[in-house]
Amino acid sequence: MRIQHASMVDRLPTQFFSTMVAKVNKVIAAGHDVINLGQGNPDLPTPPHIVEELQKQAANPLHHKYPPFQGHRELKAAIAHWYKQEFDVDLDPDEEVAILFGSKTGLVEICQVLLNPGDVALVPDPGYPDYWSGIAVADAKMVLMPLRAGNRFLPDYGELSPEDVDKAKLMFLNYPNNPTAVNAPVEFFEETIRFARKNEIVVCHDFAYGAISYDGKKPVSFMQVPGAKEVGVEFYTLSKTYNMAGWRVGAMVGNRELVRLINLIQDHYFVSLFGAVQMAAVRALTDSQACVRDLVGIYESRRNALFSSLDQIGWKAAPSQGSFFAWLPVPAGYTSAEFADILLEKAHVMVAPGIGFGPTGEGYVRIGLLSTEERLKEAVQRIHTLGLFQ
């Protein structure tokens, strides 16, 4: 029998990170010690008290049954508690919080509940490639918003054509930003709310790195800005804050109608997360946040070590403000993909080429702060031996 796949499959973008991993694995298979700084996978374990809570909860027969379709209220209340504690944001757990299988799932689902074929979604360029996936599944059109150093890696809404703005139904934003590692000021979000309200565009703010910021500066939650709930939602995940990437716990908070729509589509996909995982997430969100402060301290120390080493070899770049990434300019004469391939093949250091995050990402590479200070310094020294920054 001949299997004929749906046309949607042909619209899906190439999975950038899986392609990158395949390259790394090939070099490793050849016997080389690769320092992989190209991915965003936390390298440290989940804090012990969260693991212990999962172990305890897993023995509870209650969690061996289906959980409530839309998740346990305890987890929704814990998410609301975290937002109140961290950002003084008030959320109704029942109507302004939706539980997600990691925020990535919600970023795809929001496109499915809002976009019809041909609708426009505004997407940061460079940006997280999985924004493109949800738009492709919905058969919608993607309009890129360039993020340039000259505008502090913030989109300039004045650059968008009136036709694209008129057709746009949603926009994705992400601060602290992946891949540029900058934070957004509250004034930018105030401008965004005015723009969204005027043009009836839903704002989807990806707050995956909302706990990771440096130099004593706290990132701004979109939800803490007056008017945010009227025009949009924020996606949050426990993956980065608590090193829980494999646990797949996330949330979407904000506008009640959007929360209702996400819950509705998820009723057809899932019966929520394993209950024991939900209860462990409650512990993470409501217990002492000292583990988060310790984690951010580790990343900041790694950032400082990395940028000090980069400066010593003449690779000049602005230090990261937030997230666990560094966004670095490629030396003249190379594309980002060529430069990344050279580092992998000759220095056995993997970085992510900027072109993989969108056309405006060309000219940069992204490095993850997800190895020890010693390995980060070693990576820089390996690159130094190539003589590319003389």
Span 129-143, pLDDT tens digits: 999 999 999 999 999
Q: What is the pLDDT of residue 336?
A: 96
C-alpha dihedral, 53 to 56 to 59 to 64, nearest 10°: -20
The mean predicted confidence, pLDDT, of the chain is 96
CA distances from 177 to 15, 145, 213, 349 (A): 20, 14, 11, 23
> Which pLDDT score, from 0 to 100, does residue 307 have?
98
Please say whether the structural domain 48-286 has been given the CATH code 1.10.10.520.
no
Distances (CA, A) of 113 to 92, 140, 197, 259, 270: 22, 12, 19, 11, 16
Which region, left, alpha or beta, applies to residue 282 given φ > 0 means left and ψ of -120 to 50 means alpha?
Answer: alpha
> DSSP for 253-273?
EE-HHHHHHHHHHHHHH-S-S
Q: How distant is the alpha carbon of residue 31 from its chain centre?
A: 32
7-46+290-384 has which fold?
Aspartate Aminotransferase, domain 1 (3.90.1150)
- The answer to whether residues 317 and 351 touch, using CB atoms and an 8 Å cutoff, is no
Query: In the numeric block, which tokens belong to residue 387?
Result: 């003589």
Provide the CA 105 distance to its chain's centre, in angstroms. Answer: 12
pTM above 0.85, yes or no: yes
pLDDT value of residue 18: 75
Distance CA 149, CA 154 (A): 8
Indicate the helix (H) or strand (E) that contains 286.
helix 275-286
Q: What is the pLDDT of residues 281-321, one digit of tens each?
A: 999 999 999 999 999 999 999 999 999 999 999 999 999 99
| Helix 275-286 vs helix 48-58: crossing angle, to nearest 10 | 150
Give residue limits of the domains in the chain. 7-46+290-384, 48-286
d(C-alpha 285, C-alpha 251), whole Å: 12
Asked whether the CA dihedral 59, 61, 64, 68 is positive or negative, the reply is negative
Per-residue pLDDT of the chain (390 residues; tens, 9 = 90+): 999 998 988 898 877 777 788 888 999 999 999 999 998 889 999 999 999 999 999 999 999 999 999 999 999 999 999 999 999 999 999 999 999 999 999 999 999 999 999 999 999 999 999 999 999 999 999 999 999 999 999 999 999 999 999 999 999 999 999 999 999 999 999 999 999 999 999 999 999 999 999 999 999 999 999 999 999 999 999 999 999 999 999 999 999 999 999 999 999 999 899 999 999 999 999 999 999 999 999 999 999 999 999 999 999 999 999 999 999 999 999 999 999 999 999 999 999 999 999 999 999 999 999 999 999 999 999 999 999 987
Q: What is the pLDDT of residue 126?
A: 98
Instruction: Determine if residue 115 is left, alpha or beta; phi over 0 gives left, psi from -120 to 50 gives alpha, anything else beta.
Output: beta
Q: Which helix (H) or strand (E) holds 182?
A: none
Q: What pLDDT shows up at residue 21?
A: 83
- Given this model, what pLDDT does residue 17 score? 73
